[in-house]
């Protein structure tokens, strides 16, 4: 089917969209719950976030390097 486009999220106000991002974000909900039940504190969660960001950065760099090697004539 050509010519079909997804319906834009134009019926929500910017405030509603912000509230959804803040109140329904699974990572924010997880972080809040983990702190509430004292599994990890903020510093430990921040360390996890940093480790995840580093792993993602490394994976992206490796993928880009592999792509550039593959695309050479």
Question: How much is the pTM?
Answer: 0.60
More confident residue, 19 or 51: 51
DSSP string, the chain: --S--PPPS-SS-HHHHHHHHHHH-HHHHHHHHHHHTTSS-HHHHHHHHHHHHHHHHHHHHHHHHHHHHHT--
- Decide if 27 is inside a domain: yes
- Decide if 45 is inside a domain: yes
User: What is the pLDDT at residue 67?
Assistant: 84
pLDDT tens digits along 3-29:
666 666 778 889 988 888 888 888 888
Domain count, the chain: 1
User: What is the pLDDT at residue 58?
Assistant: 98
- Decide if 40 is inside a domain: yes
- Decide if 6 is inside a domain: no
Highest mean pLDDT among 6-15, 34-43, 63-72: 34-43
């Amino acid at each position: 089917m050509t010519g079909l486009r997804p319906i834009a999220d134009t019926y929500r106000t910017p405030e509603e969209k912000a509230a959804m991002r803040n109140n329904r974000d699974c990572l924010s909900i997880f972080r809040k719950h983990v702190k509430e039940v004292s599994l990890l504190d903020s510093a430990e969660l921040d360390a996890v976030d940093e480790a995840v960001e580093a792993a993602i950065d490394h994976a992206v760099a490796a993928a880009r390097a592999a792509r550039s090697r593959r695309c050479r004539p």
